Amino acid sequence: MTVFFDLDRTLMDFENAEDMGIKAIFETYKSELKMDYETFRSTWKVVAQKTFDEYSAGKLTFDQQRRLRVVRMFEENLIKLDEEEAAKRFDLYWNIYAQGVENFPDTLSILENLKAKNVQIGLISNGDSKNQRWKLDKGKIVQFFDPIIISDEIGVSKPNLRVFEIALEKAGTSKEECWYVGDSLVHDIEPALKFGLNVIYLNRKLEEGSLLHHQEKPAYIEVQSLDLAWQALSMHL
């Protein structure tokens, strides 16, 4: 058996870190802003997702999407920033954000349990190579994964099915023997099912989605934690 994991919001929690960074930006520049904190926070998250999706689609570089996130946020407040100022403000956000990125409490246990059973563990993550590998090092979990598939390194991003094809080629495994654990319906679950992998949808917030009902082939299981994901996987060992 081979089990592939997504990284962000699956193994690593950055939402608290993101909130810390947003708060730092807001407090530093609130005299310029026309939004209260909650509006600023919710708008930032929407803008951040949109710019990251543009990066994933190949429309922006990783650094461009970072700066553009800030430019668009302040445009929402009728403030125009040049690239230098946008980069400066993003650096403020990032320096605070980087302090808060951490593993979910249930991350290490599932990785250790799988390793103890000699299960091959892989990673498939959208993002910048340097940034994603920094997260793996910070969480001290990089040693669990072989192969590590990062979109920036292979030139294609989820939900493109080519990502999963490359992952299986590098792992030397088959669809039937492979499981994929992720949190995003659009980028993880739907394409993995379409490709033919057995899938565990990690729905930590019990969000509703327009997905197929639970099915047997390929398997689709929905859980709220990685502890429950381990229970499901252990039944197939």
3-state SS of 213-230 is CCECCCCEEEECCHHHHH
Q: Is the pLDDT of residue 86 over 70?
A: yes
The architecture that CATH gives domain 2-12+104-234 is: 3-Layer(aba) Sandwich (3.40)
Question: Which residue(s) pair with 2 in the sheet?
Answer: 120, 178
Q: pLDDT averaged over the chain?
A: 92
DSSP 172-190: T--GGGEEEEES-IIIIIH
Q: Is the pLDDT of residue 212 over 50?
A: no
Q: What is the pLDDT of residue 14?
A: 86
Domain(s) of CATH 3.40.50.1000: residues in the chain: 2-12+104-234
Nearest to 11 by CA among 213, 155, 188: 188
Q: Is the pLDDT of residue 71 over 50?
A: yes
Q: Higher confidence at residue 90 or residue 207?
A: 90
Nearest to 124 by CA among 105, 91, 146, 140: 146
The Cα 45–Cα 23 span in angstroms is 12
The architecture that CATH gives domain 15-100 is: Orthogonal Bundle (1.10)
Contact (CB, 8 A) for 193 and 17: no
Confidence of residue 57 (pLDDT cuts 50, 70, 90): confident
